[in-house]
Structure 1
Amino acid sequence: MNATLASASHITISDTVMQDAQTTLAAEASTITIQSSNGDQLAVPESLRRLILDTLTSVAQNGEVSISRVPEEITSTVAADMLGVSRTTLMKWARSGKIDSFKVGSHTRFKRDEVLRMQREREAEKAAAFEKLRAFDDDHAGVFDN
């Protein structure tokens, strides 16, 4: 059976590929090269190296990955969806300066990099909150047991 089945818009990942990704996770400082049919070694640019490593990590950890191209300018609805908040919350953040926005006519738009920055910031906040909760739980072990 094939490791992956591919179409123009969908790749199915088998259990074998997921296991291979788990054992192949590379260190941050690793390099990736491609060998051409005539034996030449081609270096993979940093942006593609990061994409490949992030893809392998996602496959190894979740068994899935979603890759898509996001336009440079994003509507408020799309930005809210990407951030996992309501459009109302996003617009409050824009008004307060928590996230940069700009107007195109009467419509509010967001730069892709700004939304991705906010996405990373929210993920870091969630991770910190989770670690704080774990530390609290460790410090109070047995207190909440029945």
Structure 2
Amino acid sequence: MATMEHLVAPGSVTGRFPLTLSGALRVSVSVGDEHLDLNPRGAMLVSKLLEADPSLLREFEALLDRGSAPEWMSPEEAAAVLGVSRPTVVRWAKAGKLTDQPVGTHHRYPRAEVEHLRAERAASAAANREAAQRARAQAAEMLDVPPTPAEMIEAGRALREGRTAAAEAIFARAHRADARRSAGSARTSTAE
């Protein structure tokens, strides 16, 4: 039986292996205390790796070391990353928000563009939330609406963190609302 020296796995020692490994009844892989028996397909893949040209194995090792995600994503993968439906991803591609690369009858999207769009959407959503929060605060102040329990908790947190201006604005609003409520109840009691 012929043998050849081959690299078994990244970081492992080279050794001499029989070239007829694919005919073996059982192939197992051990790493530390972990032990795994491979199915026939896994055994065949290990056999092919052991029979491969060492330069090809170095390329394979470099690919494993890089561990980078694929450059292109399917519509389903892009939808999962973006938190939208697959049809929305397709619609955005048609509208020009994403580059669409046909691969046969399928379509792929550049991972970098999908990640960039996700970051843009997250920033836009955060800006919208902040604008809505400011608008609610301004409207509540103009109408002397009492602060909600959540706003009072936030005011306490702001005070503990040293953001006194934010806390004082909420406490002042609570004071005005209490004064207005007291004045309203005083008018009602004098009218009786």
TM-score w.r.t. the length of structure 2 is 0.38
Task: Kindly name which structure, 1 or 2, has the bigger radius of gyration based on alpha carbons.
Answer: 2
Flag the structure with more relative contact order, 1 or 2, with Cα contacts below 8 A and sequence separation at least 6.
Answer: 1
More helix by share: 2
